[in-house]
Structure 1
Amino acid sequence: MDYKFESTNTDKELPKEIIDKLPTAGSVEHGKTVNAPSTKFDDVKVTDGVWSFKGWTPVKYENVTGNVEFVGKWEFKVNQYVIDYKFESTNTDKELPKEIIDKLPTAGSVEHGKTVNAPSTKFDDVKVTDGVWSFKGWTPVKYENVTGNVEFVGKWEFKKNASIINHIPTISASDKTLTVGDTFD
């Protein structure tokens, strides 16, 4: 009676931590019935994911007439990481309005080792009472070979309305006469 482990994922080899769990070969008498081991295996965490034991094939042999082999199946699931988004103002003295915060993309996910790009969403300018907010882009523009949660930061810039910036000042003064040599303040 022999045992072996196989991956249910054809592109993924079993790690040593799993191979080391193989039961020791045994024997069974001719004509007897033998069941697969009842051993429970804990999940095995590796850098890029988790291996889970799915069971033995077959679950038993009846009326044994020769060598038998039980195959333990392990399934691999790649780690999934959170993709999060936030907006920031490039103007330290100005908070982002609710109209901009409401445009934040919904969090997503990315598999271990993959590349993820910042959203290609175009945001229209947001007009407020005293000026206009313009979207300036995402930082960073992409993450390569992801090994954990990632965050893209969208930068927004505020510019005051030209009517406020170019406001003509009002000067109130009375007529004065200056003669040569007088000091003037």
Structure 2
Amino acid sequence: MTQREWRISELVNQLLTLGVKPGGVLVVHSSFRSVRPVEGGPAGMIAALRTAIGPEGTLVMPSWSGLDDEPFEPATTSATSDLGILADTFWRLEGVVRSDHPFAFAAAGPLAARITSDPLPLPPHCPPSPIGRIHELDGQVILLGVGHDSNTTLHLAELMSKVPYGVPRHCTMNSTER
């Protein structure tokens, strides 16, 4: 049996019913495979998210490459396949700003530059990081088709609660200066 395609307007209504705040900051962790089919594919889902938060809102998605042994180039390095097609589609859209480091986030909206502009934070999800800024801005997190094992805000909570950080701290940097 073929599942009926979600219309963008239906998704907007669902997001607002779930409590997504127009004008707010919204972090999305997703598995498009789990929520499809959506009118317009991944771009349609992104359009629904952006419509729900409105022009005053800022949409944020993880955008790291997961390639610890390769240099990270914000303009060209793909997001890891573990983040899914929605995140990989989002960072490539016009007007989306992406962090300049391997633990990148991508954002679109009035607060995008503020959220993504920082040096390499170590550990990657500490208070002076994109996810830390989202916390400061009272941002929301939505999990679309994924569980809390995909929720990067938990790493920030671990650090704030002084729970040992469980992610290796290494990356490869490419430098022309010697």
Structure number having the greater helix percentage: 2
Q: Which has the larger radius of gyration?
A: 1
TM-score (norm 2): 0.18
Structure number having the greater strand percentage: 1
TM-score (norm 1): 0.18
Say which structure, 1 or 2, has more relative contact order (CA 8 Å, 6+ apart): 2
